[in-house]
Structure 1
């Protein structure tokens, strides 16, 4: 059943196809590390975008975000209250204490890699650091549900349960952003199915060995989860100005457990 979707199941990729996706994903991982290293006080999100685009192209790949449905950048650069889809620009200057989320993708030999992470420019305020640590942990726990025979919403439910555990562990309130989530990925950046970051278990298509999903929890500090999209038709911000964090990996289902196809150097 490799290379296609059987009825009611997420498409399975062959071992060779997974290796090809990981080759693209490793470029994405290196690009994210380069963006973080460039994110110093006084740098702009346009600077980070340029660093990422150069690295991806020099690796022989193509930035999958640039031009996607008209998006102008090679990364989504989302700072503080920006949840997702922030447009990089020279007017967004980073300062000490900013929480920065960088989301990027690369296409190599026709296969996509997609990953995101959030980090501080210098030290973060304690509550914001707890938010970011929690979001990273939620991704790590949620991906463990990527097992053969599970259903799509088993992953959603695992992410939700992990969020509530993280609230208790870190002593903060966390909101799960509604309407945004993960997705299938392969020859296209966004493929069926959509993966919600919360929900009841046991629903949706089955996962099989070789199924691949981009899993991306997006959490907001505090109880409010209302968002709005700015006039650029891309940038999504929290209505109350609360900070948001975004972590993402492209994950494959294997007989030996979840396989991260977007590993980052030194991770």
Structure 2
């Protein structure tokens, strides 16, 4: 069952999302060759608690960490380790937080130093596909419209679109209805309704779309061990249009990147 949110609840959800946004911005400042993801995980937990929030992943479904850190061929759900990051690595940092009973949950795939051109292109296209999907989140559309938009965009570049893992509704639970696949057919699936809040998260592979799970019971990797990218935003349907709750602005500030990519999705929330 889809749980629509009131205007007041959407404002609270934005505050939870911004805890995560600021945490990813902090992580962006710390990422460099030689740093371990376990070190980042410890800093993230402290940073989230300092904001008056709680880690959203820690303990949920038995998760042992605040962050999920997926390096290179790891798609998602990578557990932090003591292995130092190296020049040329990429790492998806997925983070969740709970504030005022609501969840924020989003992710960014970072480059460690100089990465291979084909990997850099994968990250660029995957992030672009996130906004392609967000544009399809509007009144009258269905979950299949988001999936079709992301799939068509990424497959046109020759990439594999993961089938086994999907985006989801978001609210007082980390995973609410509906599921938001990154593949599908237009006009199919659950219909979007005013006030619904979701996490859209393309998981796109340089090679095959097929994946497998490691023996740790968490980490999902590509079947061909080629790199994978993952970007995620939290979005609400407000006045029939997508309104961003999360932001990559803190990441971009840390990395010295100028971007206006989110402007079209910031229309009414400041007035609520």
**TM-score above 0.5:** yes
Report the counterpart of residue 225 of structure 1 in structure 2.
209
- Of 230, 241, 258, the residue aligned with 1:246 is 230
Report the counterpart of residue 177 of structure 1 in structure 2.
162
Report the counterpart of residue 74 of structure 2 in structure 1.
82
How many residues end up aligned between the 2 structures? 251
Is 2:144 the partner of 1:153?
yes
Is 2:212 the partner of 1:212?
no
Cα deviations by residue, 1:218-253 (Å, 9 ceiling, x for unpaired):
00102x122111111001111211000000001111
Task: Work out the CA distance in 2 between the residues paired with 1:239 and 1:164.
Answer: 17
Task: Work out the CA distance in 2 between the residues paired with 1:45 and 1:256.
Answer: 39
Cα deviations by residue, 1:93-146 (Å, 9 ceiling, x for unpaired):
101110110001100010001100101011111000000001000001110011
Task: Work out the CA distance in 2 between the residues paired with 1:21 and 1:34.
Answer: 20
Task: Work out the CA distance in 2 between the residues paired with 1:148 and 1:23.
Answer: 24
Task: Work out the CA distance in 2 between the residues paired with 1:154 and 1:23.
Answer: 28
> CA RMSD for the aligned pairs?
1.3
Report the counterpart of residue 100 of structure 1 in structure 2.
91
Shift of 1:256: 6.4
Task: Work out the CA distance in 1 between the residues paired with 2:95 and 2:104.
Answer: 8
Report the counterpart of residue 202 of structure 1 in structure 2.
187
Matches within 5 A, 1:1-267: 10-90=2-82, 92-165=83-156, 167=157, 173-222=158-207, 224-255=208-239, 257-264=241-248, 265=250, 266=253
Shift of 1:67: 0.7
Task: Work out the CA distance in 2 between the residues paired with 1:76 and 1:183.
Answer: 17
Contact 1:148 1:254 in 2 (8 A): no
Contact 1:25 1:113 in 2 (8 A): yes
Segments of 5+ residues of structure 1 without an aligned counterpart are 168-172
Task: Work out the CA distance in 2 between the residues paired with 1:255 and 1:190.
Answer: 23
Shift of 1:257: 2.6
Task: Work out the CA distance in 1 between the residues paired with 2:246 and 2:213.
Answer: 28
Taking structure 1 as the reference length, what is the TM-score of the superposition? 0.91
Contact 1:35 1:49 in 2 (8 A): no
Task: Work out the CA distance in 2 between the residues paired with 1:133 and 1:259.
Answer: 22
Shift of 1:161: 2.0
Contact 2:155 2:161 in 1 (8 A): no
Task: Work out the CA distance in 2 between the residues paired with 1:232 and 1:164.
Answer: 30
Task: Work out the CA distance in 1 between the residues paired with 2:188 and 2:3.
Answer: 16
Task: Work out the CA distance in 2 between the residues paired with 1:125 and 1:51.
Answer: 28
Segments of 5+ residues of structure 2 without an aligned counterpart are 254-258, 260-272
